[in-house]
Structure 1
């Protein structure tokens, strides 16, 4: 098989309906149906209220009209297009989902293309139409395979009827159906229309794992060629007739508002056509991006800074530390067993003769994605269309409808390829603003943020602090542990610490949410990126306190034969952990369980001329089923580099309500020359469900690096970023 491809343009949104009259629905257990579509051919569906699965493209239109779409589209020549409801932002979701369909459909991968599904309820996944939480493949693993299986069975039945033979005598392979006895063969496109006349299979069987030929193969990513040659657009590439270009400046302090602005200086710039005032921002609209940027620079908006003008990251850190050290965090235990364990932990910590306590903190982080916030919106014929690189399409549709007072069916969402999301694009503020500007304009408008605005108006990973305590028995055995965590913003952020991955004899968890006007939200791996640093740093300290090897100490806290234990042992073997001292190597270990998967990571610290650098990282990953092993490795590598950059160098600071950092010059990103060599081993776990991967390697990276620094220098760094600790001299640090 050769490369699949991405379609050049997103599909148009279909309407959803019940099975066509006279068609028998499939069993409720599998939630599949097949429906005939007049004038179009075959259509199969996947889910009560879900769209049709297969469509025969007689007229070769690039996208189906409303009401005529499906998950899989087949042309007369047998070309297959798979629609995906996940935002493609470099994580390889489109390729993975297409592989699932291709496996059961028995299509030819070289003739499979991928496109974004229409933003309609029919194409929603289990968590609505959106992409987050490393959830795409694991949530759709069975659904997409059933889609392919149902379509294949209908195509086979159609071919068998044409030949007057039993369907059991026919085999689908590489986009063709073959009669085993006579050798006769038909392509998928030749029989798709006939398949529309058939009743659906009641429960399409799926292949046994040992029969897989596409799932588990490292096939080339489907969307990469179109990224390289520019056929598939990113947000700023969108062009429409009469398009105007705009940029925006917001009140520097969140919660503030625009008092007034003299638009004349901007209007004096050649090409500037309008200056639009929003509640907390000013927008300059021009006939090109450059004059819009220049016009904005000439403005001097008068802001009302609002209630958050005195916010600072320094004050936030102080409040976080006060919360964890002052005992104001509240218990998070739920259920009698957890509450009993917490009570036991409190008693043991109070009575133990050997105790250990440590306090850690992590800073605000920017997403720092390469593509700034942008959206292109067009209000015409009572419809608001928007091309937005978002991770939350269904929610965006609702938000725009509410903001503009439009019926939901008068809002159409298109999703271009995305140049980095990492959770920032779960917030649709930038797209709603573009919709407001376009709604008041006679032209389509593309709003592109400057890099400076992208940082100033970011939605940051919350800063957090934690105090962990442990009690030990006379032989160094761990008796109890308590974690007090405080995080900036609303909600409880305790994933990975509310229920730790280790079997602890007694455990208590407490959390405090510290209010702030600083904008915070999701960041790749969310709570785990903070809490794994706290826990895995402390577990390492516990091991050394007990005079134990950090690996052996962890293994003793995990069940024999468990996936957790297996992945730790694999990382240790991969890195040469047991022979590290003989070789004079400085290794740090960390572990993470999350997203239905497991990752153990070993970082190696290299010291030269008194300066430290993280030279190598070894990661073992158990995600159950690796749909595309090369894709898994790529995600782990990318996650490690991103997480190491954050651990070493990154921090957002806020003074008087304003973000200080305004770009890569003031917010350093780890350069390629300082990126470590990365070795990844993907474990195969027969019988395990598919797990998430996109965020998995982020959480263990920072603690592994900090633990490696301790192994190399004897210095324990408990606050990130590591480069800012005055105790340690770093190679390449500014």
Structure 2
């Protein structure tokens, strides 16, 4: 399979036209109805329906897939073709893949968030492949003048069961494309899979290694200018005045212009230095003399926010879920446990800093860059500049990391505004310092937990209260949090008296989606507290969890797997501790055991063992890679980095203070993918939430010290 990180649709259509006859299929999605497979008009689309991804077969038998999901490292460029190739009965090497245009009408939702790409497209992509195969079989049967049932497909050929005669897919395209796509094609049984379930190598990796792959920051367009934007270090600071004399004296600087971006209802102002090269723009920016009015925002510190959260924890909370009578059973129980857990703001810190190129003209808009949200980009530009959707072109590339940050349109807003003002395409590039300090961030949180054990050693009541900012309610006067802030609190535990609630806080600091979102904070608190309850009940932490999950096969399966692979029930080696944690995220179930050792007087994480059940594993190696990435990111946020606020601004400016886990610091990582025939679920996020609680629970087993605030310092244990 060939890999292309950015091939325009126009070029694809030219290739199709040169190839002659072709078969192109996609699926129609009408709200409230089952999607249907349809024949596609490559040049004009289908004016009557909303279309999603489609495949193309030329007369040489080559197959091309227009993938509608941007690639940010999650592996959809390999996994989606695998699904189609399985049902189409072709060698995966015969499939080419190219990014589709950004078009919600044809391709549906194209945003890549929440580990959704495979779980939302698995059945549909199978049906696309199966429909094409059935049409090719019917075409072959027509040539042989026999019933379609007397033919079968294998390795891009249709074979006559009686005579053994063969026709290639390329030979059949001309006839097959005239047929109506079947509504309900027959899908393979899992036992017959030849591709799905195999750890095939990702075809995008070589291009990333040799430099052929293009990311947003690599793109250049004719006539474009570069912009670097100075903003208040105190978020929401107001621009009072500036002197740009020295900035404009820098060779190459063309303009100094005001601009702004909106983040969840909050407008943030900046001063852009625009030049004919990025270095000049950056040097000009350094020469600006700017005065900001930050008001009382400069009084805010991490400690002030913490004090606010503690005060808020005593206020009435919004109840998200409740069963039984928590108050009575808690008050009556002989053993009561209460604990609070703190997590900081975190930045996304992708290796590719935020960037965007936009060209705004009278009747058209065009974007080039890396984005998780092609449709959102198109919607914003169309609405903002009153340009029809079909006159807005989105050229999305590979992403050099995203983690939720690239789902927003704020950087595009800056580039578009500057393009409108200058009349030229403008490329905005954020510095690393911009990327780390300007937000939006993962929300910091305070989790207050209470639980009770009865005289028989059973957990009878639990309350988990979340105090934090709400991504979906950051501005305005509404004081009620949404239940999204409770993500990661395990409601599958068989606890007879349960209350989950939350208190909303609103600040000038913007928050947004960060890999696994609220699961990354709440799971730390919840699984740490479950561990504390296990010790209070004098029970083994895994056995305690299993006793609360007797009727949950998938949780039980991953717990038993990590118990086995970690030798959990064997006597501990000297100076060794182990901890466990579980979570469900994006439909996938994860159990994790962390191991720590005391080496030369220091506590060192030595091994992480994870088991993940995400349903049918389309490509187990991709799942393992995603889980490994989650673990590394989780370790970083657990004991390497976190954002602190002082005088209203973010203290950590670059990787010298916002530290990343280095490869030589990583513990051994072992990921076990559970065999399953269930519907595929997400894999890009589920491996992260359990890292912090598994590790801190392991540290407790070894040291008897409970860690309830992140990040902590290993050297201080």
Given the two structures, how large is their TM-score scaled by the length of structure 2?
A: 0.91
Partner SS, residue 652 of structure 2: coil
The answer as to whether partners of 1:40 and 1:55 remain within 8 angstroms in 2 is: no
Q: Deviations over 1:130-175 (max 9, x none)?
A: 0111111111110111111111212222233234333333332222
Partner of 1:677: 668
Q: Deviations over 1:552-611 (max 9, x none)?
A: 111111124611111101111110100142665310111112211110000001111221
Q: Structure 1: how far apart are the matches of 2:301 and 2:492?
A: 34
**Distance of aligned partners of 1:496 and 1:666 in 2 relative to their CA distance in 1, 3 Å threshold:** same
Partner SS, residue 577 of structure 1: coil
Is 1:12 the counterpart of 2:3? The answer is no
Q: Structure 1: how far apart are the matches of 2:557 and 2:253?
A: 62
The answer as to whether partners of 2:440 and 2:510 remain within 8 angstroms in 1 is: yes
Partner of 1:654: 645
The answer as to whether partners of 2:5 and 2:99 remain within 8 angstroms in 1 is: no
Is 1:219 the counterpart of 2:200? The answer is yes
Partner of 2:78: 95
Q: Structure 2: how far apart are the matches of 1:641 and 1:383?
A: 42
Q: Deviations over 1:10-56 (max 9, x none)?
A: 44389xxxxxxxxxxxxxxxxxxxxx9x9864333312358986669
Q: Deviations over 1:445-464 (max 9, x none)?
A: 22111111111212111000
1:316 counterpart (299, 305, 311): 305
Partner of 1:61: none
Q: 1:315 deviation in Å?
A: 1.6
Partner of 1:630: 621
Partner of 1:518: 509
- Matches for 1:114-513 after TM superposition, within 5 Å: 114-125=97-108, 128-279=109-260, 280-305=269-294, 308-324=297-313, 326-333=314-321, 338=322, 340-341=323-324, 344-380=325-361, 382-489=363-470, 490=473, 491-492=481-482, 493-496=484-487, 500-513=491-504
Q: 1:309 deviation in Å?
A: 4.3
Partner SS, residue 436 of structure 1: helix
Q: Deviations over 1:672-722 (max 9, x none)?
A: 111110111111123x22111110010110000101111121111110002
Q: 1:467 deviation in Å?
A: 1.3
Q: Structure 2: how far apart are the matches of 1:288 and 1:53?
A: 47
Task: Show structure 1 runs of 5+ residues with no match.
Answer: 15-35, 58-63
Q: Structure 2: how far apart are the matches of 1:259 and 1:13?
A: 47
Q: Deviations over 1:310-339 (max 9, x none)?
A: 433322221112222x24323223xxxx3x
The answer as to whether partners of 1:332 and 1:498 remain within 8 angstroms in 2 is: no
The answer as to whether partners of 2:26 and 2:40 remain within 8 angstroms in 1 is: no
Q: Structure 2: how far apart are the matches of 1:272 and 1:387?
A: 22
Q: Structure 1: how far apart are the matches of 2:571 and 2:350?
A: 36
Partner of 1:33: none
Partner SS, residue 207 of structure 1: coil
Partner of 1:25: none
Q: 1:219 deviation in Å?
A: 0.8
Partner SS, residue 569 of structure 2: helix
Q: Structure 2: how far apart are the matches of 1:76 and 1:228?
A: 33
1:81 counterpart (58, 61, 64): 64
Q: Structure 1: how far apart are the matches of 2:359 and 2:81?
A: 31
The answer as to whether partners of 1:10 and 1:118 remain within 8 angstroms in 2 is: no
2:608 counterpart (595, 607, 617): 617
1:557 counterpart (548, 553, 562): 548
The answer as to whether partners of 2:355 and 2:411 remain within 8 angstroms in 1 is: yes
**Distance of aligned partners of 1:241 and 1:76 in 2 relative to their CA distance in 1, 3 Å threshold:** farther
Q: 1:215 deviation in Å?
A: 0.7
Q: Structure 2: how far apart are the matches of 1:228 and 1:79?
A: 26
The answer as to whether partners of 1:114 and 1:222 remain within 8 angstroms in 2 is: no
Given the two structures, how large is their TM-score scaled by the length of structure 1?
A: 0.88
Partner SS, residue 97 of structure 1: helix
Q: 1:466 deviation in Å?
A: 1.1
Q: Structure 1: how far apart are the matches of 2:227 and 2:123?
A: 43
2:562 counterpart (571, 580, 583): 571
Q: Deviations over 1:390-427 (max 9, x none)?
A: 11221221112222232332222121000111111122
The answer to which of 699-708 and 604-613 deviates more is 604-613
Partner of 1:693: 683
**Distance of aligned partners of 1:193 and 1:307 in 2 relative to their CA distance in 1, 3 Å threshold:** farther
Q: Structure 1: how far apart are the matches of 2:362 and 2:60?
A: 36
The answer as to whether partners of 1:502 and 1:558 remain within 8 angstroms in 2 is: yes
Q: Deviations over 1:151-203 (max 9, x none)?
A: 12122222332343333333322223333444443333333232221122231
The answer to which of 40-49 and 291-300 deviates more is 40-49
Q: Structure 2: how far apart are the matches of 1:550 and 1:291?
A: 58
Aligned residues: CA RMSD: 2.5
The answer as to whether partners of 2:25 and 2:56 remain within 8 angstroms in 1 is: no
The answer to which of 420-429 and 580-589 deviates more is 580-589
**Distance of aligned partners of 1:418 and 1:636 in 2 relative to their CA distance in 1, 3 Å threshold:** same
Partner of 2:532: 541
The answer to which of 634-643 and 574-583 deviates more is 574-583
**Distance of aligned partners of 1:412 and 1:308 in 2 relative to their CA distance in 1, 3 Å threshold:** farther
Task: Show structure 2 runs of 5+ residues with no match.
Answer: 12-16, 261-268, 474-480
Q: Structure 2: how far apart are the matches of 1:294 and 1:190?
A: 61
